[in-house]
Amino acid sequence: MPLAHADSPIAFAHSGIIDYEKAWQIQRSVHAEVAEGSRPNTLMLLQHPPVFTAGRRTLEHERPSDGTPVIDVDRGGKITWHGPGQIVGYPIVRLANRLDVVGFVREIESALIAVCNQFDIDAERYCERSGVWLRDEQGDRKIAAIGIRYAKGVTMHGFALNVNPDLTWFDRIVPCGLPDATATSMSAELGRNVTIEEVIPVVERHVYEALARVSA
C-alpha cells in the first residue's frame, strides 16, 4: 500500500517485483480513488517479471514473431518489454493543468534525464521521439520509455528505466515501433553493473519533484 511522505502531496508505493496484470489491476483501483478524491496522488515504483505489453498504436509486424504472448493495454505508444533490472514507475496523479498532458510527459522525461545525468550518462530528449535517449556515432539508443493513459483528469501507466535488464528481450520486437533504434541500459552505457537499489532513491527524488510541479 502507498506510504505518504511527511508533508508530501504524493504517496509512494514500493511494490518489488509484481505481475504486470496484477499491477495493472491495482493501478485501475488507485486511479479510480484518486479521480474521486479519496486517495492522494500516488507514484508506484516496481519491477515486473518478463512481459511484452502493446499500446494502442502497435502494428502487427512489431510484435514477437515467435508467438511469445503480448498483453494489449490501454496506454499510448507501441510495444515494449518489461522485466527484472528495469525500474517501472506508474504516476497516478491529478494534473493541475488538465489540458497539458504533453507538459506532464516532458516533466517525466526531464526527471529521467536528470537521473541518468546524475550517473554521468548523457541522456537527452528528442521532440520527434518520446522517452529518453542517447544519440551519438553508435546510433539512437533508448534508455527509458514512456507511455501513459489520461482519463478523468488523472494519469496512469508511466515510464520504464532500463537499469540492468537482459536487453536481448528487445530483439524479439520492434521496440516502440522504431526499427532504426536499439534499447540500452545504464549498465550497458557505463560498462559496470548498476543496481536497482542505487538508482531507486534517485528516481524517487527526481520524479517526485517533477510530479509536484504538475499535479493538483
Residue 160 covered by a domain: yes
Using alpha carbons only, what angle is made at residue 88 by residues 82 and 89, rounded to the nearest 5 degrees?
150
Residue 4 covered by a domain: no
Number of structural domains in the chain: 1
CATH number, position 177: 3.30.930.10
Residue 43 covered by a domain: yes
Residue 15 covered by a domain: yes
- Tally the C-alpha atoms within 13 A of residue 126's C-alpha that lie toward its C-beta: 15
Instruction: Determine the pLDDT at residue 176.
Output: 63
Return mean pLDDT, the chain. Answer: 89
Q: Which residues are catalytic?
A: 176
Instruction: Determine the pLDDT at residue 5.
Output: 38
Residue 1 covered by a domain: no
Is 163:196 a contact under the CB 8 Å cutoff? Answer: yes
Cα separation of 188 and 164, whole Å?
Answer: 8
Residue 126 covered by a domain: yes
Question: What is the tens place of the pLDDT at every residue in 168-214?
Answer: 999 888 776 667 778 999 999 999 999 999 999 999 999 999 999 99
pTM as predicted: 0.91
Is 63:54 a contact under the CB 8 Å cutoff? Answer: yes
Domain holding 34, by residue range, is 9-57+69-214
Residue 156 has pLDDT above 90, yes or no: yes
Is 123:112 a contact under the CB 8 Å cutoff? Answer: yes
Instruction: Determine the pLDDT at residue 73.
Output: 93
